[in-house]
Chains A and B, each alone.
Chain A
Amino acid sequence: MCNKRKHKFLLNLKNCFIALGILIIAFIICFILSRFFHHANYCSLVFILAVILVSRFTGGYIYGSIMSIIAVFGIYIFKVNSEVFDYALNFIIMLIGSIVVSSLKIQVKKYAVIKDEIEKEKTKANLLRAISHDIRTPLSSILGSSTAYLDNCGKLSDEAKYTLVSDIKDEAVWLIRTVENLLSITRINDSFAKVDKNPEIIEEVLGDAASKFKRQFPNIELNIKVPDDILFVPMDALLIEQVLLNLLENAVIHGEKTTVIDIQADVNESFATITVSDNGNGLKDEMLSHLCGGNVISEDKELAGIKRNMGIGLSVCMTIIKAHGGNLRAYNKKDGGAVFEFTLPL
């Protein structure tokens, strides 16, 4: 709140300086011109220009209007007119000019805001489409399996029942993962720019994420390396944990033959780097090029459909890390396996 007021004050100060500057320049020009010409008709033109410029470079109607009044005095000083009527006419013309320019400027500003909104809506729509598409499949499967179970309860063998129920469980696990991802996006403020950062010890966050991951995938070997010195990194720990979980799960699910995952944290003067690398199949070329473009939610349904959840999971990672002021990049190791690397500013 206080910050907003301060910002407004600074803006007003800046506008004042602009108006004052243009006024002074107008006076100087008039003064110089008065040395060369004996009549002073140019004066009103110079001041009209000054009024229009002030309206253009300051916000709102106030500065332009005040400037019109001052300009009339300016014209009076250089004695352009002899009649009161002329001054009034000058004033009205300048006032109208300033109002027209100001209102044009306000309209342009409004348009920029609308354009920004449209851009945001578009991203949201893309995300929504990807999600709805992704969520429908497991839901149909859950509905199908449970209906099959209920309708044929007496006729099914135990094995068939077991299969149906474990299918329901798998799909539900997947749905929960997706929803957790979506929820974590809502933790980021609306402007997609701010997260609530607290200094966290990197090994605690890595350790907690690792133990959650282990509960789900007990057979995957995890190796974590952290610096010997205690490393505090400002972050929203839950969000970074979500990033790690996404990267780890992707490594298993999309790496297909992954058995070992290495997580490493390094630090230099300005940021911490966290690397997650696996020994799976590595990333496909089209996925890599998508990642390089920074656009992981593809509008192309084919790609989003093939790699279920990859799209949402990674775009959530990207959003979270961008909101922290860091970077996410991906590449393949020479000897196979994918590497995801993200930075967090210190």
Chain B
Amino acid sequence: MQRIAQLAINEEGFVFDPVQGESFTVNQTGLLIIKALKEGKSQEEIIRELVNRFEVDEDKARIDLVDFIEKLRSLNLL
């Protein structure tokens, strides 16, 4: 199972990793992405959600998503 599926998250953006005991805070954008990844949504679906929810165009959303995913990879959460 991917580690991201095990993350405990709350609505304020507090994220706890039960495997490593680390905690993180994320903003509302990060929270949306983590939740969507936990639900197994595709990158295209997540980009659409970002565009709908925040004032951002598709290109900017894609760049931010890729950037955030890389960050999660560097933390071994993906």
Are A and B physically bound partners?
no
